[in-house]
Structure 1
Amino acid sequence: MGLFTTAAQLRPIPRSTRFANGSVSFWFRDLGFPERRDPLPGSADYDVCVVGAGYTGLWAAYYLKKEQPDLRVAVVEREFAGFGASGRNGGWLSAEFAGSRERYAESHGKSAFIALQRAMMSTVDEVISVAAAEGIDADIVKGGMRLVATNAAQRDRLAEDIEYLQEWGYWPDDIHLLPADHAPSLAVADAVACAYSPHAARVHPAKLVTGLARAVQGLGVDIFEGTAVEEIRPRRGGVRPAVITDRGTVYADHVVRATEGFTSTLRGRHREWLPMNSSMIATEPVPSAVWEKIGWEGREVLGDSAHAYVYAQRTADDRIAIGGRGVPYRFGSGQDKDGATQPQAIAELWKALTRMFPDVAEVPVEHAWSGALGVPRDWCPSVHMDAETGIGWAGGYVGSGVATSNLAGRTLRDLILGRDTELTRLPWVGHQVRGWEPEPLRWVGTRVIHGLYRTADRRESKTPEDKSHTSRLAGIATRIAGR
């Protein structure tokens, strides 16, 4: 797919009569938009103020109130709970953790990162158990994760990745190659290898985040929506940390920045995390006759081993929702308004979908959307609470935030309460990195990286098996990205 998408390339894509592009996401269109909560009524005082009502902020508030019910906690949100990546993601609740394992090991040792990876695995079950305890029906099915390779280079890379992961916290039972006749079946066209991990579940993102918001509010947390945060001020002398909004100022002993892909909109934070865009499409319900050919009875989440990878799930009502990077970055860290994505992204995702499942080619696409995720300059997530300034944060999940945000929420709880625990000793706590380059370098760099990865995938797909190897272009892209 070239840099620009033509009308001829879009024409073959069957579109539903109910097709929509944007409207936040298919997940909210399916669930229905929540009734808006009241905005901040004016300046206020709390023990803890959380900025951002996505997974990270809500999990932090949840665990703080569960642990210490007398804490006065507020969550301030510009739109509504789940408006950002928490309500737009692919619904992968997985133990995947972004970032360089070696970077974390440099500061804390290899065993510390292995502890972090094992914590991620238990986090999958933690989210599932809390959802059950709080009565949150989020279409959760713990079917595990499958990663497929569709050419020889991907197959070799997948095997290398498994060997690598098994040196960094995964045991053979945690991730391994599947035999060709493994049941239940999942028929991906041209698949030459498939790996499996049990540490993953399919979820409905909007149901999870709106259910969590209800649970948090039920514990006595004040959630203020429709309240735009302009600046977060640290403790200065005897003046407590402050959240400056268009509705008033919130003073608190601790302020948590949980803004992920929207961090660049805050004053002084423009280059801290790059808002990387990921796009998705969802089909109409797939006919039962097609499902008989595909399988997918286990409802595993599904990804591939391409450099410009895709991720997919079979929804509770038998659609396929598939996502990928699409057009990954807007100049100047620009933000979308309601989740609309570009025609190029729709075309690329439909091509990936029908390449994996040719029998779905006649099933109309019903919805397309996008969302921004936070990417630090070294691609490593972090969680932190600065005792001197009273400001904390968590994020930079690089697309693996559904589970990681829960681990961050529990860690923020312990940091705010001043506890020394296994969570606060994990190596991502306190990790900091320099900001991104100024424009236009940021925009040019992301476009070059995106193009190199896609060109590498095309070359690998055309290389004979006896000459297969990972394209050098992918290595160049990875070095430019600083991953």
Structure 2
Amino acid sequence: MDGTGGRRLDGTPLAGDFANGGVSFWYRQIGLPARRRALPGGRDYDVAIVGGGYTGMWTAYYLKKAQPDLRIAILEKEFAGFGASGRNGGWLSAEFAGSRERYARARGRQAMIDLQHAMFTAVDEVIAVARAEGIDADVHKGGLMQVATNPAQNRRLHAELAYLRRWGFGEQDARLLTREEQEDRVRIAGAYAAVYSPHCARIQPAKLAVGLARAVEALGVDVFEGTTVREIRPRTAAGRASAVTDRGTVTAEYVIRATEGFTAGIKGQRRQWLPMNSSMIVTEPLGEEVWERVGWRNNELLGDEAHAYCYAQRTADGRIAIGGRGVPYRFGSRTDHRGATQPRTVAALREILTGLFPAASGARVQHAWCGVLGVPRDWCSTVHLDHATGLGWAGGYVGSGVTTTNLAGRTLRDLVLRRDTELTALPWVGRRVRQWEPEPLRWIGVQAIYTLFRAADRHENARMSRTSAYARIAELIAGR
């Protein structure tokens, strides 16, 4: 990885080992896994999974557990856990991407409530599997705090809580903290209010990815790395579904696409899901005097109500890792494979961090990185399997994928095995949405959305009491 000069959180230069790009801090902490072999040529399987991230690995894991004689292969361009699975913010959260109303229109209000409860269950399912498989991923179920730091955010936070109540959230699922409870949990400068939910746990993402890869291999799944899938073809009268790679063609009864933010690299998929960029920084380990001022003893996950929102965790070794949108999108659905983060993005994240936690202003930023997540045109996640063509997919998690991938894996298991279950009846199953606009409209639209969101945040930070009109315009363009 690159070693460059870093800066303290207050902006002054520092000497040290600040690194930008190459891999996430999570892999820097544990080391990159040894590379597995590439596909040795054309082969045939029962199920071929394109993409070695959480979605692909959970799908393989649950299929093998349910039917051990299935022949399953995972095809990965880099290494298992290379993408968002090894770069995310470590939120094992019950948050689910997309509009509840849109899901409810598909199969009714109760189906959407069932989907939310399935997400609650999925948080505990991941924790249970990690324990059963001996995966030490720094898991701590401390819940989630959503914080308002200006009057407009405060209004939105209360409105969001009322909205959740209408969708069946009880006090046990999300509640407004008293000022004393808020200060006792995490002391955040200028906080107006906070809502707490217990349905969230901290994880170290790369540890979970590496552990899952090891678990699926132990079950007998073939994991091929350094293998680029160029095209996915449906079943025809002449033959089975197939994944065409640079190492040979894999045929299978089912081919599952689990490529999330990297989907645009497959032939014919460039406009399917937009690869949205998200960036993170992590501090050096903070001293006890800083933690005395900050609190954060229960390792809650932390987010705010800004439009260009942030997400943060206290790491197991006493750092603060915080993320948000940097350059949101690259022209032509390109992705930055090196994971380097622009200096202005690092500076913006540093400003957010010091604004929330002035006590940490003297700490060093030791690492910065970025990754991509998949965004469908209607911002709603989906899982699908077509028995006629033999093709399936899951993704479009819009940044809420750590838990959703587990639910997707179990749902794809039931779909592949032709089981009618509570999971296959959930309203995200079988969703189809229109593609994103062609370039340059796609690039112009995304740039406009995030320019407006940032302008809205600046206006609201000037103590506006209502949501900025800029944000309302951005939402209209986004089509959320």
For normalisation by structure 2, the TM-score amounts to: 0.97
How far does the alpha carbon of each residue in 1:27-85 deviate from its partner, in whole angstroms, 9 at most, with x for none? 00001000000000000000000000000000000000000000000000000011000
Q: Counterpart of 2:348?
A: 348
Residue 477 of structure 2 is aligned to residue 480 of structure 1: yes
How far does the alpha carbon of each residue in 1:237-289 deviate from its partner, in whole angstroms, 9 at most, with x for none? 13100000000010000010000000000000000000000000001001110
Q: Counterpart of 1:177?
A: 176
Q: Distance in 2 between matches of 1:172 and 1:477?
A: 32
Q: Counterpart of 2:210?
A: 210
Q: How does 1:15-54 map to 2 (within 5 A)?
A: 15=14, 17-54=16-53
Is contact 1:202-1:299 (8 Å) kept?
yes
Give the Å deviation of 1:169: 3.6
Instruction: Identify if the C-alpha distance between structure 1 residues 146 and 55 changes in structure 2 by more than 3 Å, giving closer, same or farther.
Output: same
Give the Å deviation of 1:341: 1.2
Instruction: Identify if the C-alpha distance between structure 1 residues 15 and 266 changes in structure 2 by more than 3 Å, giving closer, same or farther.
Output: farther
Is contact 2:8-2:362 (8 Å) kept?
no
AA at the equivalent of 2:477: I
Stretches of structure 1 lacking an aligned partner (at least 5 in a row): 1-6
Q: Counterpart of 2:146?
A: 147
Q: Counterpart of 2:381?
A: 381
Q: Distance in 2 between matches of 1:249 and 1:170?
A: 48
What is the DSSP-based 3-state SS (H/G/I as helix, E as strand, rest coil) of the residue aligned with 1:181?
A: helix
Q: Counterpart of 1:4?
A: none
Q: Counterpart of 2:126?
A: 127
- Out of 166-175 and 208-217, give the one that drifted further: 166-175
AA at the equivalent of 2:468: S
Give the Å deviation of 1:13: 5.3
Q: Counterpart of 2:3?
A: none
How far does the alpha carbon of each residue in 1:331-380 deviate from its partner, in whole angstroms, 9 at most, with x for none? 11111122111112111100100000011111010000000000000000
How far does the alpha carbon of each residue in 1:303-346 deviate from its partner, in whole angstroms, 9 at most, with x for none? 00111100000000001000001111011111112211111211
Q: Distance in 1 between matches of 2:175 and 2:14?
A: 37
AA at the equivalent of 2:34: E
> Between Structure 1 and Structure 2, how many residues are aligned?
474
Q: How does 1:181-192 map to 2 (within 5 A)?
A: 181-182=180-181, 184-192=184-192
What is the DSSP-based 3-state SS (H/G/I as helix, E as strand, rest coil) of the residue aligned with 1:41?
A: coil
How far does the alpha carbon of each residue in 1:125-175 deviate from its partner, in whole angstroms, 9 at most, with x for none? 000000000000000000000011011110110010011112224222101
Give the Å deviation of 1:185: 2.5
Is contact 2:201-2:301 (8 Å) kept?
yes
Give the Å deviation of 1:10: 9.9
Q: Distance in 1 between matches of 2:248 and 2:44?
A: 11
AA at the equivalent of 1:22: G
Q: Distance in 1 between matches of 2:8 and 2:292?
A: 29
Q: Counterpart of 2:58?
A: 59
Is contact 1:49-1:252 (8 Å) kept?
yes
Q: How does 1:81-230 map to 2 (within 5 A)?
A: 81-182=80-181, 184-230=184-230
What is the DSSP-based 3-state SS (H/G/I as helix, E as strand, rest coil) of the residue aligned with 1:214?
A: helix
Q: How does 1:398-477 map to 2 (within 5 A)?
A: 398-463=398-463, 468-477=465-474
What is the DSSP-based 3-state SS (H/G/I as helix, E as strand, rest coil) of the residue aligned with 1:166?
A: helix
Is contact 1:414-1:424 (8 Å) kept?
yes
Give the Å deviation of 1:16: 5.7
AA at the equivalent of 1:60: T
What is the DSSP-based 3-state SS (H/G/I as helix, E as strand, rest coil) of the residue aligned with 1:392?
A: strand
Instruction: Identify if the C-alpha distance between structure 1 residues 375 and 16 changes in structure 2 by more than 3 Å, giving closer, same or farther.
Output: farther
- Cα-Cα RMSD: 1.4
Is contact 1:453-1:477 (8 Å) kept?
yes
Give the Å deviation of 1:15: 4.9
What is the DSSP-based 3-state SS (H/G/I as helix, E as strand, rest coil) of the residue aligned with 1:79?
A: coil
Is contact 2:87-2:370 (8 Å) kept?
yes
Is contact 1:16-1:364 (8 Å) kept?
no
Instruction: Identify if the C-alpha distance between structure 1 residues 168 and 254 changes in structure 2 by more than 3 Å, giving closer, same or farther.
Output: same
Instruction: Identify if the C-alpha distance between structure 1 residues 321 and 11 changes in structure 2 by more than 3 Å, giving closer, same or farther.
Output: closer
Q: Counterpart of 1:323?
A: 323
Give the Å deviation of 1:412: 0.1
Which consecutive segments of 4 or more residues in structure 1 shift more than 4 A? 7-11, 13-16
Q: Counterpart of 1:69?
A: 68
For normalisation by structure 1, the TM-score amounts to: 0.96
Q: Distance in 2 between matches of 1:16 and 1:430?
A: 53
Is contact 1:51-1:258 (8 Å) kept?
yes
AA at the equivalent of 1:441: L
Q: Distance in 1 between matches of 2:161 and 2:97?
A: 15
What is the DSSP-based 3-state SS (H/G/I as helix, E as strand, rest coil) of the residue aligned with 1:344?
A: helix
AA at the equivalent of 2:64: K
What is the DSSP-based 3-state SS (H/G/I as helix, E as strand, rest coil) of the residue aligned with 1:111?
A: helix
Q: Distance in 2 between matches of 1:338 and 1:378?
A: 28
Is contact 1:117-1:168 (8 Å) kept?
no
AA at the equivalent of 1:473: Y
Give the Å deviation of 1:389: 0.5
Give the Å deviation of 1:11: 8.8
Give the Å deviation of 1:24: 1.8
Paired-residue identity, %: 63
Q: Distance in 2 between matches of 1:444 and 1:415?
A: 38
What is the DSSP-based 3-state SS (H/G/I as helix, E as strand, rest coil) of the residue aligned with 2:37?
A: coil
Is contact 2:8-2:361 (8 Å) kept?
no
Q: Distance in 2 between matches of 1:13 and 1:357?
A: 17
Is contact 2:385-2:412 (8 Å) kept?
yes
Q: Distance in 2 between matches of 1:428 and 1:344?
A: 37
Q: Distance in 1 between matches of 2:12 and 2:345?
A: 12
Q: Counterpart of 1:3?
A: none
AA at the equivalent of 1:107: A
Is contact 1:9-1:347 (8 Å) kept?
no
Q: How does 1:304-319 map to 2 (within 5 A)?
A: 304-319=304-319
